[in-house]
Chains A and B, each alone.
Chain A
């Protein structure tokens, strides 16, 4: 995969991009469906998430949880200062998170901006997934044509997972049809690549909105629903993830299709990661405790997981100089 596959945007007139539109009646149906969803009581949801956060995970279950969490990490760099060199280094780390211990699992994927997909693919080959953020990430403020090009560009460059953002402006004005259509169109543009739909829950604010947006994304064809870009605070939280997991659980009950969930941003410690695994385990069940259905979008989390892993195996803490920087 080389960067020559990657077509400069300017060469493609945006207006020529075809995309499907939905009839107004189906939007009415969508509005009615979303309005009919059961509400979320915020106090209750927060209490439930906090109660699950008190589970005490020790010994062999902790070791299992740490290895599982490592295997679920989308190791991420999304900076303006990213370079092929930086991405290559991160990719090496993704493949062999702890060079001193080959039993350490690889992470699930690396997550980069679309233009750096070739640099990532060159290092990881097909050993782990390469995810690209697309659709005018992180704001999503661009025309659908630009977003489609952004997506196709990343797929053409070798991304097999696309992390798109929804149009929060459209969602908040109640234009659910527009959000839906965009997801449908991006999904089509993804081809075989898996589509993760970022709800940016920090901008949706209410848990009722989180539940609506989750259903909207799943109905539009998301393979994964993802909390956040990591660029807006708060990013992933336990209550938000709980509500998304409940949506995924109910969607499975209705359609027999399992949708994944990605908690991204703000998860920095092993302790936090284990809380998320408990949340998954007790909300949707252990069928979701696989990198195919649950991911952590994170950068600093991995090193804490590695230090905890070393501590579990050796009985003492090593310190930051004994895990590699990305």
Chain B
């Protein structure tokens, strides 16, 4: 007999999903005035709940609540007291971690192993980290009296719903700003549970407002005249549209957009760990990661051997029920995204790249895509240039470090890069030359609240996390 792992599904009994969900404005759940929409479980296509859609009236109410909270309480509160609220939120995220993880997996399709071990703990860590900054801002290097900006509009994507919320809300609150946040249309549920946590933490009403809806809601929020700053994470196209929309206003802006990062493996790399890093780089979260290592650059002398090792490793990946604790690859978040992945992989084949996937059974219901490797890819292929945002790896080769740099940088993006070598001097030399906001050495997709994250070129601007990330929410000027 072989060692088959029996199903080990995490129980969903811990979550209580309301069949219809309101907006969170001024500390209370209030009905939206737009047409409500449904959110589904992408692994089963079952409807999970109905979500309110915020219209202009709701956006106004949310911004007004945030303004009032900013003027009346939050901007006047001592950093020490703001920190207390953030610590409280961080602890509540930990206390309710299983609930958050299960809900995230249901709504997003990501494996419970990842929501449990990555998304939720790092979200809590962001609140803990920024709680510590709240009363030390004058020592952060932004002048001796750094001031908050005011009301911040935040629009986040569906790939790490709770984690992106934490990356946005924690620094904004720590620095004394108030927030109106719009989660992605397909993944609103953990943001609404977070709203409950804000109530539980007794956060003053209006400091955090969560308005759900589609792109139109986001546009109205970003364009609202009483917003002082916009922080957006999502596609480059939408990021560019936002920049056009707010041009000529005094709004500050940070954008965290797409990427086509290079994961560069030299012949003196620790190969077994590099293979793990390649897998973690592109198959983590079904490749729905803006900083995913989607372009693998292999030194030619080890290309064949490494591809063989990679294929052998991919045979052990377990695709299926995201709630099963042994699942490595969950569901694609939406049919729309699945279609985009299918379209781009088709172009890869048409352009002559060689396609390979391990044997795996694809469930009948839901949105799924087998982990895929393209070899014989060149810089001219679409799959080497465009962000696929799926579990699809494009493998290219190089001969010398200079060629690796040229290829790595030959992209409109510049979000992240990985360098695999046992030679420390090479790591430093490469890291200086790769045009990417985040460079990982002998690892990939590691996140820490103390480490700034952000991109170059079409991957956006501004940093999130670390002392650098505080700068996006502070000014040395006197604000109104």
Contacts and interface: CB of A to CB of B under 8 A. Distances in A.
Contacts, number: 69
A316 interface: no
Interface in B253-289: 268-273, 276-277
Interface stretch (A53-61, A81-89, A263-271): A53-61
Interface size on B, as a range, is 20 to 34
A289 interface: yes
Given A39-B422, A43-B442, A65 B269 contact: no
A278 B6 CA distance: 13
A45 B117 CA distance: 18
Contact of A48 (B113, B269, B276, B422): B276
A48 B273 contact: yes
Nearest to B1: A64
B355 interface: no
Contact of A45 (B3, B273, B325): B273
Contacts of A39: 268-270, 422
Contacts of A277: 3
B475 interface: no
A272 interface: no
B6 A59 contact: yes
B271 A38 contact: yes
B19 interface: no
Residue of B7, B270, B316 with most chain A CB atoms under a 10 A cut-off: B270
Nearest to B117: A54
Contacts of A55: 5, 325-326
A44 B276 contact: yes
A40 B269 CA distance: 9
A38 B309 CA distance: 13
B468 interface: no
Given A38-B269, A38-B270, A39-B268, A44 B442 contact: yes
B277 to A, nearest CB: 7
Contacts of A41: 270, 273, 422, 442
B272 A40 contact: yes
Contacts of B277: 44
Contacts of B269: 38-39
A281 B270 contact: no
Contacts of A58: 5-8
Interface in B297-324: 316
B2 interface: yes
B4 interface: yes
A62 interface: yes
Nearest to B276: A48
A41 B442 CA distance: 8
A232 interface: no
Contacts of A38: 269-272
Contact of B5 (A43, A45, A48, A61): A61
B319 to A, nearest CB: 15
A44 B272 CA distance: 9
Interface of B: 1-8, 113, 117, 268-273, 276-277, 316, 325-326, 422, 442-443
Interface of A: 38-41, 43-45, 47-48, 54-62, 64-65, 68, 243, 246, 277-278, 281-282, 286, 289
5 contacts: A43-B442, A44-B270, A45-B273, A64-B3, A68-B3
The 10 closest A-B pairs by CB, nearest first: A44-B273, A56-B8, A56-B325, A41-B270, A41-B273, A61-B6, A39-B422, A59-B6, A38-B271, A286-B2
Given A55-B325, A289-B3, 10 more contacts: A38-B271, A39-B268, A39-B269, A39-B270, A43-B442, A44-B443, A54-B117, A55-B5, A57-B8, A61-B5
